[in-house]
Structure 1
Amino acid sequence: MKYRRQIIRLALAASFVVTLTGGLIGVSGLPAKADWVRDQQWHLRSLDVTNAHRLNRGAGITVAVVDSGVDAKHPDLFGKILQGIDLTGDTTSEGRGQNDLDGHGTAMAGLIAGGNPSSDKGVLGIAPDARILPVRVKVHGIDLGGTGLESGIRWAVAQGAQVLCIAMADSQSDESLRTAITDAISSNVVVVAGVGNRPMFDHAGFPAAYPGVLAAGGLDRKGNHASISVTSTAVVLSAPAVDIVSTDTGGGYRQGTGTSDATAIIAGAAALIRSRYPNMPAAEVVHRLTATAIDKGPPGRDDQYGYGALNLVAALTATVPPLPTQAPTAAVAPPPETDAGPARPRPLMILLAGCALLTITAAAAAIFYFRRA
């Protein structure tokens, strides 16, 4: 991913360093004081996180953050970061994924599991009792792609991660990556990935575009489709993705805009579901999240919102019928649209049409006969 610099204003903002990685525009170097942070996390109110946390906080769940590493020393993350792995070959890293020179992975970890619900200071994650498994596959916003990402996914699955947060996207498919994703899903892991941001992408990136992946789209502050979020048949579920405040390296905080943020938020939601329903298969977790989503845009699934906007409390409480035994792929992630050609008439329609034709023919014959008589 290429860098992009931009000045963003935030309360008490000081020096700014802006990077674009898998959809996060981050502000680093903000003061370490956490007093103002919670009020800036508007998505917590939008998702009714307070009531969701009365039901579950993600205990017992491990979420692998396949990213730039995680700053394990951040006060809002301290004690929540497991020993991970560093696949970048970066000699400056402290190893085990507990170091982050970019800040992106630290931001994702904060959105998933940061903070303490009993405190009103600092960042609060969607699943604050979950644990983060850092898998470092990129440095300074540049991901290794292909083999590096694939190896990170396989390693995380082998370590028992129940949810994968992959807040990055590639415009090109890679067969080894596709296989790693397929194997992860077959291993009962919920895989969440961002569809990518405009204008960098004009279609869903990979791995989000692979079948079975919970592909995350973005919402703005009003709950509408975020203009930065890619529109695609691959979109499964949408979550807040604009002006999202989270943790940063060095004990600081940053503000992000992009589908990376939506990815981490949805990964946190998946952790809550897996914690509340520990025996629920991964496919059913995705089904529960989509079945309880708030329908947006045209009725039913659409290319902007997927199945709708994330509804945390409903996902944790609603009665959701299980997936059919022979569930189509579209029940989890819609496949790309294809031209199926003209619709074929159904047998019943053919029978009715034939009966109508025979009736008309008989009536015409009768009229002709009686007129001649």
Structure 2
Amino acid sequence: MTTMASTQPSAASPPQAAPKPSGADRVRNDQWHLRYLKVTAAHQIAKGEGVTVAVPDTGVGLHPDLRENLLVGIDIIPGGIGDGRQDRDSHGTGMAGLIAAHGQSNNLGALGIAPKAKILPIFDTPPQGNGDPDALAQSIEYAVSRSVDIISISSVGSRSARLDQAIGAALASDIVVVAAAGNRPEDASVGYPASKDGVVAVGGVDQLGRHAAISTAGPEIDVVAPAVDIYSTSIDGKYRKGTGTSDSTAIVAGAAALIRSKYPDLPASEVVHRLTATAVDKGPPGRDDQYGYGVIDLVAALTADVPPLGFGSATASPPADPAPTATDVAGPSTDEGDAATIRGLVTLGVLVAAGGGWALVARNRRRSDDPPPRISR
């Protein structure tokens, strides 16, 4: 950055270099997905109070923007400090931040979709390494034992009998399980566990609301959310920028946390139904393989009159409560305009702030075939 001194500095007051903006100064404005999803309006209704989201990942660091919402978790594999609250990779911290970062005063720092939800951190994937399906199974078993409300899985990988059983147990325990669909070109179809029946399979859209090129497609896709150039928390108190269905999955997990907070007695199946029934339809009319039921609509999911599963049409009526504005209930902005109908990993680019600068780390966050990171400055 170039700084300019005064043309006539006094001897007593030597010219001072302008302070460099910190990541916390910049990241909130860079979080375009908050504006796209009308998070401010949604937070007038719910912020995730009383909800716990398990994040089985690379651990979650004690970031200033997230610290108040981070519970004591567990390390499933060796290498952590025992409680899940260490991350040497940044992926897990980024996902947790998208779900429940509370930011700092004066609207600084990162903000999550559900900033009053709690995060249960689980370290089950080594930094820059491959994930073991049985380690993920053990993570889910632990989350079930802790009676969490939501499990957010931002990865794809291989299948095992234990993992199948663990996910089944979570679903039977009234837990919303959200998982990344996968990223092209590594994933030609929706990966596991997103492909498992009962799991919310999440794809991605870009800043124009169009299907993200990186997001895989398939008949299992349920909903989509922002997945391109998504800013969140990182390790060492810094911030990162990610692209992939890892990010859109964490965002949808945050949306589920808002619904569970607003409707604490609603079964998990009805929470998912609210997400799909109020999604903004994209692509061909009705559910399709790129968008699923559509782009999540936070305000509509919290306020619309949604018939219970099995009763009448899946179409949700606009909310009767006049508090949200007409713009708010229209859902996310779309490339098709306001006429969009309301109804109803994994490659990751990381941008880490370091001493006022930004280092781009392009890496593939997967539970298998994970290449070493490539760093450019």
Bin of the TM-score, shorter chain as denominator length: 0.7 to 0.9
The aligned counterpart of 1:189 is 175
Note the alpha carbon deviations across 1:267-289, whole angstroms, 9 max, x for none.
00000000000000000000000
Q: Is 1:283 matched up with 2:272?
A: no
Cα distance in structure 2, aligned partners of 1:123 and 1:187? 32
Tell me the residue number matched to 2:112. 125
Provide the residue aligned with 1:153 in structure 2.
Answer: 140
Alpha-carbon distance, 1:32 to partner: 5.2
Tell whether 2:187 aligns with 1:201. yes
Distance in 1 separating the partners of 2:130 and 2:147: 23
> Which structure has the bigger radius of gyration?
1
* Pair 1:89-2:75 in alignment: no
Q: Are residues 138 and 31 of structure 1, via their aligned partners in 2, closer, same or farther at CA, if it must alter by over 3 Å?
A: farther
User: How much does 1:208 deviate?
Assistant: 0.3
Alignment match of 2:86 (pick from 94, 99, 102): 99
State yes or no: 1:227 paired with 2:213.
yes
Is contact 2:134-2:160 (8 Å) kept? Answer: no
How far off is 1:179 after superposition? 1.4
Deviations 1:191-227 (A, max 9, x none): 0000000011101111000000011000001001000
Find the residue that maps to 1:35 and give its secondary structure.
Answer: helix
Aligned to 2:56: 66
CA deviation map 1:2-49 (0-9, x unaligned): xxxxxxxxx9xxxxxxxxxxxxxxxxxx98531111000000000000
Counterpart residue identity of residue 162, structure 1? D
**RMSD, matched Cα:** 2.0
How far the C-alpha of 1:118 sits from its partner, in A, is 6.4
Aligned to 2:107, the other structure's residue is in SS state: coil
What's the offset of the Cα at 1:89? 1.2
1:296 lines up with 2:282 in the alignment? yes
What is the CA distance between 1:157 and its match in structure 2? Answer: 1.1
Answering whether residue 260 of structure 2 is matched by residue 271 of structure 1, we say no
1:228-270 alpha-carbon deviations (Å, 9 max, x no partner): 0001111100000000000000000000000000000000000
Structure 1 portions without partners, runs of 5+: 1-10, 12-29, 326-373
The equivalent position to 1:165 in structure 2, one of 152, 155, 158, is 152
> Given residue 109 of structure 1, which amino acid in structure 2 is its aligned partner?
A
Q: Is the 8 A contact 2:182 2:216 kept in 1?
A: yes
**SS at 1:216 equivalent:** strand
Q: Output the CA distance in 2 between the equivalents of 1:33 and 1:229.
A: 28
- For residue 177 of structure 1, report the CA deviation from its aligned partner: 1.2
Partner of 2:237: 251
Provide the C-alpha distance between the structure 1 equivalents of 2:77 and 2:36, rounded to a whole number of angstroms.
37
| Superposition deviation, residue 305 in structure 1 | 0.4
Q: Tell me by how many angstroms 1:141 deviates.
A: 3.3
Q: Report Cα offsets for 1:326-362 as digits up to 9, x if no partner.
A: xxxxxxxxxxxxxxxxxxxxxxxxxxxxxxxxxxxxx
Q: Aligned partners of 2:293 and 2:267: how far apart in 1?
A: 19
The 1:117/1:232 distance shift into structure 2, 3 A limit, reads farther
3-state secondary structure, aligned to 2:23: coil
Instruction: Give ranges in structure 2 of 5+ residues lacking alignment.
Output: 2-19, 312-377
% same residue: 53
What's the counterpart of residue 8 of structure 1? Answer: none
